Structure 1
Amino acid sequence: MDPSSAPPGPARRARRRERILATATTLIDSRGFAGTSIERICAAAHVSNRAFYEEFEGREALLIALHNDVARDGMEATLAVLGDPAMESAGTRDRITALVRAYVEAVTADPVATRIASVEVIEAGRTVEDHRLLWRSLWTDFFTAEADRAVRRGEAVARDYTLATVALIGAINELLAHWARNSASLSRELLARELIHHILATLGIPTDEGK
């Protein structure tokens, strides 16, 4: 067998995948997802179309991978906060504040990635939208559990928070997209404070502006 035609090893393939993702990120940032073709990505990344399709089923799969990186970072950051034993007994206001600050720090670490994950995914096709809905359902379960905890602690009124949580997640996504479009003029701190305010308001808990 010609060594040049042999399949790439795991390490080489991982580097190739990262190169494709990094190149796609740069192109989408400058041209938008609609203006970024697979051919253009491959040419800029110096890979063949065949190599691209060995990693991704198509453009939508690549966009989902980029979205996943940001979404997973946000979820892992919040779970890390919940892993702190002090959070077990923390009041809802303090708990939500810590969760949101960790989430914002994680998902806004790279403003370009944030914009792709919150803006470019909009109307990018049914497959991408189904993927976004899956993440939305995960966050719905997460926030519903937080609401139930607040109710058990006597810090929130007992009611069904499911629809309120759906509306809350929509607001969070829109605020994040707005920040991504205007990150040069809007601080992460302002974004975090606004998200904290919305979540606590949904639960009927007054915001402690000193936090």
Structure 2
Amino acid sequence: MATAGRQYGKQSADERRAARRARMLEAGLDAFGGPQGFRGTTIEALCTAAGVSTRNLYEEFGSREALLVALHDELNERATAAVVTALAAVDPLDLHARAHAACSAYLEVMTSDRRWARVALVETVGVSPEAEAARQAAIDRFVALIELEAARLVEAGLLPDRDHHLTAVALAGALLGLVNTWRTDTAWDARVPAVADEAARLIVLALTAP
């Protein structure tokens, strides 16, 4: 058996495994994010599309559900990182600028590919307890981020001193709803900046309400 670092041709075992994983993720994105969705996709179809064996897929992910969750988590990690990076470049006391920067960064990632949006917003729903947990964890991260921003601005005297948790939950749900509307309506492609503007206004109005 080959060791992890042993070379075959120009690729090590680790490199070949990483390449297989990337192909499986891409095959999953195409299948789960396409018309057939998760429920219409078999393990065999995934493996054929990725050019791997079923053993490869089970060794790497363990199940179709785990591959779906991996795709879901990858997108949400990218979106979270984009929002955090955008916020770091904005005046910490300018609520509207921060809301707009965060919404723009989030939407840029979430609307980069309708396949990703379908995987994140549709295909993970009701699949398994693990998928539901991943979906809820992603929502909770954004709720926590909104609450953190609100608490910091309350401390600075720029927001009313109240519990913003339910507001944050409602805002996270509204953003997901906007992305899902974009996903199903191709006429929205040119309107993503306008959606970011509207989302930012919604955040400002919600957080500044007494």
* TM-score band, normalised by shorter chain: 0.7 to 0.9
Tell me what 2:5 maps to. Answer: none
Q: How does 1:1-211 map to 2 (within 5 A)?
A: 9-28=13-32, 29-84=34-89, 86-88=90-92, 90-182=93-185, 184-186=186-188, 187-204=191-208
Aligned counterparts of 2:107 and 2:31: Cα–Cα separation in 1: 25
Q: Mind listing any 5+ residue stretches in structure 2 that lack a counterpart? A: 3-7
Q: Which amino acid in 2 is paired with 1:21?
A: L
Query: Displacement, 1:52?
Result: 0.3
Aligned counterparts of 2:42 and 2:194: Cα–Cα separation in 1: 35
Aligned counterparts of 1:180 and 1:137: Cα–Cα separation in 2: 22
Contact 1:17/1:55, CA 8 A, preserved across alignment: yes
Give per-residue Cα distances to partners, 1:86-133, cap 9 Å, x unaligned.
533x41111111111112112222222122212222222221011111
Contact 1:176/1:191, CA 8 A, preserved across alignment: no
Tell me what 1:209 maps to. Answer: none
| Structure 1 pair 136–152 and aligned structure 2 pair: CA distance change class (3 A) | same
Aligned counterparts of 1:133 and 1:63: Cα–Cα separation in 2: 15
SS of residue paired to 1:30: coil
Q: Which amino acid in 2 is paired with 1:191?
A: V
SS of residue paired to 1:199: helix
SS of residue paired to 2:125: coil
Contact 2:143/2:172, CA 8 A, preserved across alignment: yes
Aligned counterparts of 1:166 and 1:98: Cα–Cα separation in 2: 19
Aligned counterparts of 1:160 and 1:150: Cα–Cα separation in 2: 13
Contact 2:27/2:49, CA 8 A, preserved across alignment: yes
Query: Displacement, 1:165?
Result: 1.1
**What is the aligned-residue RMSD (CA, Å)?**
2.1
Aligned counterparts of 1:166 and 1:124: Cα–Cα separation in 2: 23
Give per-residue Cα distances to partners, 1:22-71, cap 9 Å, x unaligned.
11211221311110111211122221110001111211111111111211
